[in-house]
Structure 1
Amino acid sequence: MRLFQNSGLNPSYRPRLADLVGQARGFEQQKEVFLNDRYGAAHILLPILGRSPEAFFTNGDDESLQRAWARENGLGQDTPLADILLAQIEHHKTDVFYNLDPFRYDATFVRRLPGHVKRKIAWRAAPGKIDFSGYDLVLCNFPSMRQLWEEQGARTAHFFPAHDPELDTVAANRDRDIDVLFFGGYSRHHQRRRQILEAVAGLSSRRRVVFHLDLSRYTPLAETPLGWFGPLRAVRRPPAIREVSAPPVFGRSMYAQLGRAKVVVNASIDMAGPDRGNMRCFETLGAGALLVSDSGNYPAPMYDGQTMAVYEHPQDASEKIARQLDSGNWDGIGWAGHRAIREEYSKQRQFERFLELT
């Protein structure tokens, strides 16, 4: 099977990737830098990570990467990114196209694929109106999200992120100097998250608390006198959160912070339904930290009190974290979570499931 996997970049990750790439200009060089940084590794399939000669990977929205391939393959500098991606698929003679970025490359793009592409599969785990009509299958690990896509006419199937084995070394470190860690977005869509983080930040008087926040572009303005009133208040951080805030981290820098954390707090965004088990859960358990996350429907083996801890409301989150730290139970539950996620959601099992769907 000739597999082609396309992904995309968070805008906030782009500066880090540019620094890592440095002066590298070749397509393969730039791609290797990206894959070695492990950004989004939970979703990257085993043949890609194993550098199988029959598997091709790219980030279709990475202009530097894509234009490097275009130069090396005789395409003009003004070639649209969608046309470069299409040329890569044709050159690769792809059998299965697996797209993690269907918002950018929807049915309009899929209808242009050459005839040798036998299966067109997308992954999507966030709400939004997308035309999936060109895809054979849309994958997701949230039942409520799959129902949403099916109501829009798509055929769906259960699929899941996987444990990155690179986290095994991270998990082995049990001497950790950060008591409570959070990393994620902070925008107008995160009002419930703000309440949770504000409560947890109250622990900073006696515990080391670090929040790596990917801020809304409006937050700096919101935190000036101009933002004291009006709609910008929704993205202004309360003082308790500002005091423990740090810049966002990605890739191996994120892995390094996970390896320093005893507890990682997870808070679903306001638009999320009852289903839980986002990539943050997989990364945290994989790194051997104690996952403390909001109540909802979690997949096995994410069990409250056994492999993670669940809270019901902001103050409950703060109190549960304090109890786990004071008792030292974070260590045993965190290690149990690591063993469970490593066994249940290995890269091999993820790819075996993918093969079932193709």
Structure 2
Amino acid sequence: MRIAILDTYYAKFLKAHYARNKGLKKQDSSAQRASLLAAAFGTSDFYSRHLNGMGHEALDLIANCVPLQDSWARENDVSFNPLLLKLPHRTFRLPVIGRHLAAMPGLMEVALAQVRAFKPDVLYCQDLSFFPGDVLRDLKKDVKLVVGQIACPLPPQSFLDGYDLILTSFPHFVERLKATGIASEYFKIGFDTRVLDLLGNVPKDIDASFVGGVSRHHGKAIPVLEYVAENTPIQFFGYGAKTLPRGSPIRKRHNGEVWGLDMYRALARSKVTLNRHINVAENNANNMRLYEATGVGSLLITDRKDNLGDIFEVGKEVVAYSSQEEAAELVRYYLAHPDEARGIAQAGQARTLRDHTYKRRMEELVPVLERHLAAQGA
């Protein structure tokens, strides 16, 4: 199969990456893409690398990176308006595809040109809010199967309607998506072992951490995190701290944003690390931190969810809490019992490296894509 994997990256990460790598935006698109993927942000090349290793042909498209897309468009003689390229694609309204796509070249139009140039059997979108449904339906003239993957709040139905299949790590989303007439299947995320090679040996010099964002989607988590901040030596890393009140105990312990390998390094430095799911996860464990934290060998203390036991053995591979008081108590207990903490962390890492790697996930994904391609008559 030929698979185009389209993703979007956080704007703050892109800004920080180009600021750190002076002159990168002047390099060709291949060099820029390689640099971005080497940073191990999000799912990076964790899908394409293993798909290519299995004999398929997969290409990563970072659709909202302006310098990268600008370079690719120039290299491939794609006509575009540079001013519109720098505008968010969601500012465009495209009720009539042909006229508006011709009149408003920008990030979305460059991405469409990339997809058509690659001629994939499968377009695999990691951001369901990038292409409107009518654009996807038009793109099906050139693509046999359009697949989306989601682990965040659903976009409007008009963005979902163009998908042939949507995979999700939220078990509760599957039937909801099917009810709209879109095929959907449960598909867990994971951890890529290349991260361990890139990190090397990391000293565990942080007692306890929370690594992640604090935003409106994390509203229910804030009281828990603030309570733990007041009752343990926990340190915070990530984005969104400035959105909190100045008196928040989280802000007093916050160490700033960390992206890609720096994020993994913060986790790897931690003896124990706290996890909390976003509100839309409801009572299901699903997020990337489950696999990232265990993958780098830290003791994961996560919020108790109905399906957590299907992913890890609770109490032996990870630890779970049901209240803010229990979360703080567990952090204090395992800091006071480092040998016990180390044993659970090692068991959690062994489980992730056995069952939850992206190599394993791609071995699970390929038959799903082949089955749905066959159903499309491809």
Once residues 200 and 348 of structure 2 are traced to their aligned partners in structure 1, the CA distance between those partners, rounded to angstroms, is: 13
Q: Look up the match of 2:37.
A: 35
Residue pair 2:318, 2:344 contacting (<8 A) in 1 also? yes
User: Do residues 295 (structure 1) and 312 (structure 2) align?
Assistant: no
Residue pair 2:219, 2:279 contacting (<8 A) in 1 also? yes
Q: 1:237 to 1:125 in 2, by over 3 A?
A: farther
Which of 243, 247, 259 is equivalent to 2:256? 247
- Where in structure 2 are the equivalents of 1:317-336 lying within 5 Å? 317-328=327-338, 329-336=340-347
Q: 1:59 to 1:76 in 2, by over 3 A?
A: same
Q: Say how many residue pairs are matched.
A: 339
User: How far apart are residue 270 of structure 1 and its match?
Assistant: 2.9
Which of 78, 85, 90 is equivalent to 2:116? 90
User: Do residues 349 (structure 1) and 377 (structure 2) align?
Assistant: no
User: How far apart are residue 44 of structure 1 and its match?
Assistant: 3.5
Greater displacement, 275-284 / 130-139? 130-139
1:179 is paired with a residue whose SS is: strand
Once residues 171 and 33 of structure 1 are traced to their aligned partners in structure 2, the CA distance between those partners, rounded to angstroms, is: 16
Q: Look up the match of 1:132.
A: 160
Greater displacement, 252-261 / 307-316? 252-261
- Which structure would you say has the larger RCO, counting Cα contacts within 8 Å and 6 or more residues apart? 1
- Amino acid across the alignment from 2:108: A
Once residues 100 and 11 of structure 1 are traced to their aligned partners in structure 2, the CA distance between those partners, rounded to angstroms, is: 16
Q: Look up the match of 1:18.
A: 18
Greater displacement, 26-35 / 125-134? 125-134
Higher share of residues assigned helix: 2
2:9 is paired with a residue whose SS is: coil
Q: 1:59 to 1:41 in 2, by over 3 A?
A: same
User: How far apart are residue 213 of structure 1 and its match?
Assistant: 3.5
Structure 1 residue ranges, 4+ long, deviating more than 6 angstroms after superposition: none
User: How far apart are residue 216 of structure 1 and its match?
Assistant: 6.5
Which of 106, 128, 140 is equivalent to 1:80? 106
Q: Look up the match of 2:350.
A: 339
1:348 is paired with a residue whose SS is: helix
Residue pair 2:48, 2:58 contacting (<8 A) in 1 also? no
- Where in structure 2 are the equivalents of 1:194-205 lying within 5 Å? 194-204=222-232
Task: Quote the RMSD (CA, aligned, Å).
Answer: 2.3
User: How far apart are residue 89 of structure 1 and its match?
Assistant: 1.2
Once residues 43 and 210 of structure 2 are traced to their aligned partners in structure 1, the CA distance between those partners, rounded to angstroms, is: 19
Task: List per-residue Cα deviations over 1:16-57 (Å, max 9, x = no partner).
Answer: 222244312311011001110111137841437868893211
Q: Look up the match of 1:66.
A: 69
Q: Look up the match of 1:211.
A: 236
2:291 is paired with a residue whose SS is: helix
- Amino acid across the alignment from 1:289: S
1:39 is paired with a residue whose SS is: coil
Task: List per-residue Cα deviations over 1:249-281 (Å, max 9, x = no partner).
Answer: 010111211121011101122333111120111
User: How far apart are residue 193 of structure 1 and its match?
Assistant: 1.2
Q: Look up the match of 2:171.
A: 143
Greater displacement, 260-269 / 40-49? 40-49
- Where in structure 2 are the equivalents of 1:227-246 lying within 5 Å? 235-236=244-245, 238-246=247-255
Which of 112, 117, 120 is equivalent to 2:143? 117
Once residues 54 and 169 of structure 1 are traced to their aligned partners in structure 2, the CA distance between those partners, rounded to angstroms, is: 24
2:310 is paired with a residue whose SS is: coil
Residue pair 1:70, 1:84 contacting (<8 A) in 2 also? yes
Give structure 2 stretches of 5+ with no counterpart. 82-104, 370-378
2:278 is paired with a residue whose SS is: coil
- Where in structure 2 are the equivalents of 1:173-192 lying within 5 Å? 173=201, 175-192=203-220
